[in-house]
Amino acid sequence: MKYDLAIIGGGPGGYNAAAAAAKEGLKVILFEKAELGGTCLNRGCIPTKAMIHTAEIWSEMNNADESGLHADKLSYRVPAIHRRKNNVVATLRSGVEMLMKSSGVTVINGTAQVVGEGKVLCNNETYEAKDILIAAGSVPAKPPIPGIDLPGVFSSNEVLEGNGKTLASMIIIGGGVIGVEIAGVYAALGCKVTILEAMDRLLPPMDAEIAQRLTVIMKKRGIAVNTKAMVSGIADGGEGKIVTFKDKNGAEQSVTAMGVLVCTGRRACVAGIFSDNYCPDMERGAIVADELGRTSLPHLYVIGDAKARNIQLAHVAEAQGRNIAAFLSGKTPHMDMSVVPSCVYTSPEIASVGLTEAQAKEAGYAVTVGKCVTGANGKCVIEGGENGYVKLVADSATGVLLGAQLVYPRATDIIGELTLAVQKKLTVKDLASVIHPHPTFCEGILAAAESMID
C-alpha cells in the first residue's frame, strides 16, 4: 500500500504533523519504535511537570502555617508519587493514540529505516510514500567523563521512567533547563542536591539576571550551585559516588552523593535511520535542512530535535510539523517560527521570549526597560511567592516590544500574551491599553508596560 506521507517518530512533532496532514486529506502512516508521545510525553516534559506539581504541593503543605493552617505528621510515599506521574503519562498517551485513530493515521510500532526515495523498511516490510518526514527526536547526550557508565549514574530518562530513583543526595552535572527543574523536585522532597555547571551561570542561554535570581532562590532552598565547574571524573566511594571537578578558580574539588544525574544536553536520535546507500547531508549527527525542513534529498523532510541547529523544544517541533503538513497539502505554512517562547518550570517559573536587554543593545537598539516586581502584585503577595519580576524590553524609538523575561508565578502561562505581542510587533502602549483583570498575576504585564510610558 502506498501513502502520501510516512512519518518516522511519534513525538509532538510527528503526531501533530500526522494529524494535521490527515486533516488535509493526505494518507498518512506513522512509525514509532517505542510509545506514542515521544520523549516529551513519556520521559521528559510531562513526567517532569507531574513531579514538579507534586513537589510544589508538598512545599505548600510544609509552609501552611504561614497561611494560618496547621497539619501534623506530614509524609509522602515515593511509589505513590511515581504512580500518579505514570497515570498522567498513560492518560495523555491514550489521548494521542485516540487522536491518531480518529484522524485515520496508520500507526506501526517498530524501528523504521529509510532505504530509498519514498521507501521505509519496518518489521521486515517495505512501505512506500510520496514524502517522508523524519521526526525522530533526541536522546540524552553522554559526555566523555571517566566513570559515566558506573551504576548509580543516571540520565534524565532514567531518573523519570517507571518508579524513578529515590536518593538522599544527588549531584547534577549540568545546570540547564532539565537540571534545574529536577533539582527543584528532589530538593523539595528532602534530597541534598549539588549542581555542577560548566558555564559561568545557570541556564546559560537565558538572561543573566534570570540566572542570578534563580541561583539565589536555589541556594536559599539548600541547593549547592557550582558554576564554571569542569567535571573530570566519577568514581565509586564508600558513601556513594564521588565526582571530581575543577572549580571557578581552577582548584581541584570533589563532592559525594548517593547518585549522579547527567543533564548535559541532548543529541539527535538518527543512528541507523538511513540505509548505507541513502542518507541526506548531516552535521554533527543531525540532519541538515532548510527553514521549512527540506533536506538534501528530494521528498525527505525533517523537524524537531533530529534537525541540525534546531531549537530543541516540543512546541517548536509541533509548529514545524504543522507547517510541513500545510506545505505538503499545497497550502502556505502558517506557523511563525521567528518568535519562540522558552519556559523553565522551576518555582517560581521562568519564561522568556524575544530579545533580552543585552541582545537588543548588541543588535543596535536603543532600549527602554520596564519591570514589575512580585511585591507590587496583589496575587503574588497573596500566594507568597519568591521575589521575582516581569521585565519588558522595548525599542525606545518606537515603543515596539522586543522581548520579555519573567521570574514569576505562572510565568509559563503568562508568556503567551507576550509572545503574541512580540510576534505582532505591538508597542508597550498597546499592552498598557488592555484591561487586565484584578487581582491576577498577568497584571504584572500591565504594570511593567505602564512604567515605560511617559
Active site residues: 438
Helix (H) or strand (E) holding 232: strand 230-237
Residue type (1 letter), 71? A
For residue 299, CA distances in Å to 68, 181, 231, 328, 444 come to 64, 39, 43, 10, 47
3-state secondary structure of 442: coil
d(C-alpha 346, C-alpha 184), whole Å: 6
Asked whether 401 and 427 are in contact (CB, 8 A), the reply is: yes
Beta-carbon neighbour count of residue 235 at 10 Å? 13
* Residue 278 backbone dihedrals phi, psi, to 5 degrees: -150, 100
C-alpha cell at 308: 541540525
C-alpha angle 355-357-359 in degrees, rounded to nearest 5: 55
Asked whether 369 and 388 are in contact (CB, 8 A), the reply is: no
Helix (H) or strand (E) holding 63: none
d(C-alpha 246, C-alpha 232), whole Å: 7
Asked whether 139 and 265 are in contact (CB, 8 A), the reply is: no
